[in-house]
Amino acid sequence: MNRTPHKAGSIGRQARAWFTKLQNLRTTGGPDAPALSLRDPWPGDPARGARLVMAELEFGGAVLPVHHDVFATAPGATRPLRAHLHGFTWLRDLRALGTDAARARARALVLDFMDTPKPEPIAYVPDVAGARLAAWLGHYDFFAASADDEFRQALMSRLVQDARTLSAALPAEFLDGRALTALKGLTAASIAMPEHAQYLSRATKFLVPELARQFYPDGCHIERSPGAHLLALQDLTEIRALMQAGGKTPPPELLTTIEHAAAAMRALRHGDGGLALFNGSKEEVANLVDLVLAQAGRARGTLSHLKSSGLFRLAAGKSVLFVDAGAPAAPGLDRFAHAGTLGFEFSFGKDRLIVSCGAAPALAGDWATALRGSAAHSTLIIADTSSSDITETGLGRRPVNVNVSRQDVGDIAWIEANHDGWAQVFGAIHHRRLSLSENGEELQGEDAIEAQTPQPFNIRFHLHPNVTASLAQDEETVLLRTPSGLGFRLKAEGAVPRIEDSVYFGQSEPRRAEQIVLPGHQDGPQHIKWTITKA
C-alpha cells in the first residue's frame, strides 16, 4: 500500500518516539553541568518578571495565574499562552528583574515542571520543547549554577531526555517559524552537552531545507508578519551564535538567509523604530529590534519593498507608508494571518498616525478574533464582512488574486492594487491607489468597488492612541494632532467623515483610540478619493 509522505513521516515519527521513551526509561542521570556556558542574548521585561514573582504570567495580551499544578492543567488558557508557559522563555523576564526572589521563583517553577508527572502534551511539541531547552541552558547560570547538587543533577537529566525526545520528533510537523525554534533548541543541547554532539548534524540536516522554505527571495519570512519575522531572525542568529560558540562552521545558507532577513527587517520598521502591525504583530521595543539587527550583522541597506511577500514600503521626507498588498499566507502558515488585505499604516517622523489595531493572539474570547477582522485595519470593508473568513487556526475564505503594481513618476511613488476577497460573497473587487508626495507631507488615496450590484462599505483609518482627532468647522475635514505637536488634515470627496471609538493592542497593554470612518452607501458612489495632508 502506498503511503503519502505525510503519513509515512508520521509513522516514522511515532516509531522514533516509542524507541525514545524506552531509552529515557532505561537511562538515568546526565552530565554534572553544561560543558559550555550559554547565555540567552535577549533582554527581558522586569515588570513582567515582577508579576511572575507574584504568580501571574503575562503574555500576548493575556494573564495566566501560576498555581501549583499549572504545568499539568491551565484551564481557560489559549494554546499560545500555554506554549509560552511550557517554553520558559519568560525566564529572561525574571533574569531582568534580577532579585533573589526572582532567582528563587525561576528555580521553583523549573522544579515544579520537572516534578509534574504528566505535563500537558503541548510541553513536548517540538517548538515548545526547543524553546525550553534553549531557555534552560541560556539561563543556567542565573537559576541553576548556585542550586544544590540534587536540583542540578535532575535538571541535566531532564535536559538529556528532552533533547532525545525532540530529536526523535523532527522534522517538526509545523510549516511555520516554530520549526526554527525546535532546531534552535536541539542545536543548543548539542553544543552545551558534547556527548550528544550527534544532535547537531540532525539539526543541520533539517535546517538548510527549512531556510529555503521559510523565507521569500526578498528576505521576508513566509508568514508575512513582522512579528513572526523578528522571532525567526532571533532564532537564526542564536543558531549561528551557538554553532560558533561550539567551534562549528555555520552552513553558508544560514549566513545568507540572516543577511537577507536583516535587510527585510529594516524595511518593516516605522520611524519610531518599532514594527508595522500586520498579521499578528505588535510594535515591539525599538531597542530589541536594534539588538536583533546588531546580532544579525551588517545588512545591505533598507529595501523599498518586499515584492515577493507583498509588503510594500514607500518613504519620502519624514514619512513612511506600509501597504499589505499581497495574498494572505498559505494554509499551514496562516496562524497569525489577518483579514487586512490592502490595509496601510502611515507614520511621520517618530509619530504613528494611521495604524492597524494590533493583535492579542494569546487572549481568549472575541477580542482575538475581532482584531484579525478587516474592520480592525485601515482599509475598506464591504457590508461589515471581512475580506477573509477568520478561523481559530488561520483563514478560511480569502483573496485568491491580489494584483499590485508600483509606479514611480518623477519623485512621486504610487501603489495600485486590487483583490477579490469579496468575489464569492458579493461578486466585488476592491481597488485601492495610494501615493506619497515628494516631501512626504501628503498622502493621496482612492478606493473603489467594482461590482455589478452596488455595495455598502466603510473605509476605516485607525489612529494611534497618541493621536487626537476633531472635526473642523466645515464638518468635512478631520484635524489630527500628534504628540510632537504636528497637525494633519484628512479630507474626502464623496463621503462625509465620522470620528468613532477604536482600540489599540499594538503595545503591551490595550489602549483606547479613535478611528475615522468614510461611509459609502449602496445607493451612492462606489468610488472615494481622500487625502491626508500635513498642516
Proportion of the chain above pLDDT 70, given as a percent? 93
Give residue-wise pLDDT tens across range 127-184: 999 999 999 999 999 999 999 999 999 999 999 999 999 999 998 888 899 999 999 9
pLDDT band at 5 (very low <50, low <70, confident <90, very high): very low
**Per-residue pLDDT, 373:** 97
Q: How far apart are CA 178 and CA 234, in angstroms?
A: 12
Give residue-wise pLDDT tens across range 277-308: 999 999 999 999 999 999 999 765 666 668 89
Give residue-wise pLDDT tens across range 245-265: 999 999 999 999 999 999 999
**Per-residue pLDDT, 18:** 41
**Per-residue pLDDT, 9:** 55
Instruction: Judge contact between 460 and 430, C-beta under 8 A.
Output: no
Give residue-wise pLDDT tens across range 413-440: 899 999 999 999 999 999 999 999 999 9
Contacts of 295 (CB under 8 A, 6+ apart): 41, 234, 237, 241
Strand 442-450 and strand 351-355: pairing? Answer: unpaired
What do you get for the CA distance between the two ends of the chain, in Å? 72
Give residue-wise pLDDT tens across range 437-478: 999 999 999 999 999 999 999 999 999 999 999 999 998 999
Cell, residue 120: 500537558
Average pLDDT for residues 62-76, to the nearest whole number?
92
* Length of the chain (residues): 535
- CA distances from residue 476 to 479, 490, 495 in whole angstroms, order as listed: 10, 9, 8
**Per-residue pLDDT, 171:** 87
Instruction: Judge contact between 216 and 308, C-beta under 8 A.
Output: yes
Nearest to 285 by CA among 227, 344, 324: 227
**Per-residue pLDDT, 302:** 61
Average pLDDT for residues 508-516, to the nearest whole number?
95
* CA–centroid distance for 501 within its chain: 26
Instruction: Judge contact between 234 and 42, C-beta under 8 A.
Output: yes
